[in-house]
Structure 1
Amino acid sequence: MPGSRDLPPLTTPFFPKIFIKNQFRAKIRYPPKSTDLSGQVAIVTGSNTGLGLESARQLLSINLSRLILAVRSVQKGKEAAKQLNASFPTATIEVWELNMSSYGSIQTFARRAETELSRLDIVILNAGVFKFKFAKVPDTGHEEIIQVNYLSTALLAILLLPVLRSKSPADSAGRLTIINSALAFTAKFKTKDKTPLLPSFDDTKNFDGQDYYGVSKLLGQMFLWKLMDYVSAEDVVVNMVDPGAIGGTDLGRDMPGGMVVFAKLFGLITRNLPDGAASYVDASVVRGPESHGAFMMGWEITP
């Protein structure tokens, strides 16, 4: 089966053809009933709410033994862990602090995984932001969408790759799934010719929240493309997945009041959280080495 890098670039307009195919014609797939994660350990970032929490729940439902909820707010993480423990009392569920706006927090988290975990099988990098107003991250000086969705996510992936490689069983490669978005295909990326590139995102006159979100995901796809030159599927299987348009997430929590009506109307055509999270589990558990380096959309490997 060809991977994403082997497929010709998409030339079909995203709206409406690709969107309709991905959102309404995709065959939603849940893991086979025989899937069993007994003994395995997983990390899910941004897992106190939305798709992160639901994917954590689904991993536990197929007998995941130990779950690390990587969250910015430990208190909210503990509330989520309590909810999950009520349904899965035999699983070990821990809450670890992770602030994706801080390089120091990301490095501390990775070191903790290296020192405290005797085993690590699955990492799902779900944490992300969508901002409607320009904001810089004090710790780095970079615009927040690009910082969290691209720079910090890429850093955390790089730091956790050797942990996955060394702490997954010898007969089973570790799994790293990064959550991406088909909105990468819509990115105008008006600063793409700027040199150097990163400072251009930090200029308020270039800010467009929706486009920055798409650009952050496009940069993520570029990162994965290049990463495949350095990472073997025999060590860690790395892929990206788009869950589609999903209702019930907190991604648009900063939405201006004038857009609320549109959001409610759009919510009529979104997938529910369980179906969206099923794409996470499919990418991180069900798929094998054939998904290494792949961008998955609508449960299919796509360009």
Structure 2
Amino acid sequence: MVGSKDLEPSHAPFFPNVFLHNQFRAKPQWPAPGTSLAGKIAIITGGNSGLGYEAGLQLLDLSLSRLILAVRSIERGEAAAAKLRRLYPHSTIDVWELEMSSYASIQAFTKRVDEQLPRLDMAILNAGVMRFHFQRVTSTGHEEIIQVNYLSTMLLALLLLPILKAKRAGPSPARLTIISAALTLNAKFPERAATPLLASFDDPRTFDRQERYQTSKLLAHMFMWNLVDYVSADDVIVNLADPAWVKGTELVRDGTGPVVRAAFKVFGATTGRTPRLGASCYVDAVINKGKEAHGCFLMSWSIHPFPAMLYTPEGRVVTQKVWDETLAELEFAGVRGILDSMRATLED
């Protein structure tokens, strides 16, 4: 199999080359006619609105039996679930609380998944934030974008892996897809030389709103680079999926003034994909793609190389630093033991 790590890195300029191809030229890949998810259970984080909600619609259209909307606000989650229940009365749609800025909430959520779900076939980790001003998460001390988009998402992924492996039905692998962004290809990653690295993001003086979001997604690529060596594609197919720039989502909603919001709205209206097309990238990742996409970055419904930096000697050093510091940060949750148990299966 030829995955993202095996491809030649792309040095094409992000603007306009990659952006134009992603937004206007790439062709969607829809599930084959007759595809059925009857009997299967899926989790979508941030599933009450935007791309998460649309992905839920598309999975339910394929006769998904049960959908768990993992959301920060139960009230908003129930409002979204009510709409879905009217559209799909024969499916079970549940709303479970998940606060992505809280390690305790993530642990409680995955414990509930393990104890209450009879099976689990797929999880789409869609929840994320984009902030225009530095904000610190009180419980962890970390800057919020890095906390939610990277550290908390990786913790959730690691805690879900053994559950997906154990609760998948039959010999087919379970699926775990993490939201990514084509903007990782444009990340400058100014903190790359910092030691320790993760702590460098907690200094408000170095906060750059554009670079921080891109870097948060780049870190996930670096983590995936090593993670694939611990997880067998026979157990769980793990990948990163980019929905491209999508109009009408709530990603840019906090800490912005009316001028900025208006600018994003105009930009989205003129260049953005529809939520249906954007969410189809998630569905493609968990339905259409097989073992060939394990450990890969999916962009425009195709396997794409990781950001070019990862293939360089400097990038390899930084990637290992990210891996080591992340495992140290999440050691309280027993993540090394989880990885060892997953790798034992891989080596059998």
Category of TM-score, reference length = shorter chain: over 0.9
Aligned length: 303
Aligned residue runs from structure 1 range 135-284, under 5 A: 135-254=135-254, 255-267=256-268, 268-284=270-286
Deviations 1:28-74 (A, max 9, x none): 12211211000000000000000000000110010000100000001
Deviations 1:198-250 (A, max 9, x none): 11101011101111000000000111111011001001000111011100100
Deviation of the 1:258 alpha carbon: 2.8
Structure 1 unmatched ranges of 5 or more: none
| Secondary structure of 1:111's aligned partner | helix
**What residue identity is the alignment partner of 1:159?**
L
**What residue identity is the alignment partner of 1:95?**
V
Q: In the aligned structure 1, how far is the partner of 2:235 from the partner of 2:261?
A: 45
Q: In the aligned structure 1, how far is the partner of 2:187 from the partner of 2:122?
A: 30
Q: In the aligned structure 2, how far is the partner of 1:221 from the partner of 1:190?
A: 16
Q: In the aligned structure 1, how far is the partner of 2:239 from the partner of 2:199?
A: 28
Q: Contact 2:248–2:265 (CA<8 Å) still a contact in 1?
A: no
- Could you say which residue in structure 1 is the equivalent of 2:303? 301
**What residue identity is the alignment partner of 1:104?**
A
Deviation of the 1:259 alpha carbon: 1.8
Q: TM-score, normalised by structure 2?
A: 0.86
The structure carrying a bigger helix percent of its residues is 2
Deviation of the 1:257 alpha carbon: 2.6
- Could you say which residue in structure 1 is the equivalent of 2:92? 92
Computed over aligned residues only, the root mean square deviation of the Cα atoms, in angstroms, reads: 0.9
| Secondary structure of 1:237's aligned partner | strand
Deviation of the 1:10 alpha carbon: 1.4
- The sequence identity of aligned pairs, in percent, is 54
Q: Comparing 24-33 with 124-133, which one deviates more in the overlay?
A: 24-33
Q: TM-score, normalised by structure 1?
A: 0.98
Structure 2 unmatched ranges of 5 or more: 306-348
Aligned residue runs from structure 1 range 62-141, under 5 A: 62-141=62-141
Q: Contact 1:132–1:256 (CA<8 Å) still a contact in 2?
A: no
Deviation of the 1:264 alpha carbon: 2.7
Q: In the aligned structure 2, how far is the partner of 1:298 from the partner of 1:288?
A: 16
Deviations 1:60-93 (A, max 9, x none): 0100001000000011110010000000001011
**What residue identity is the alignment partner of 1:148?**
V
Deviation of the 1:262 alpha carbon: 2.2
Q: Contact 2:66–2:91 (CA<8 Å) still a contact in 1?
A: yes
- Could you say which residue in structure 2 is the equivalent of 1:285? 287
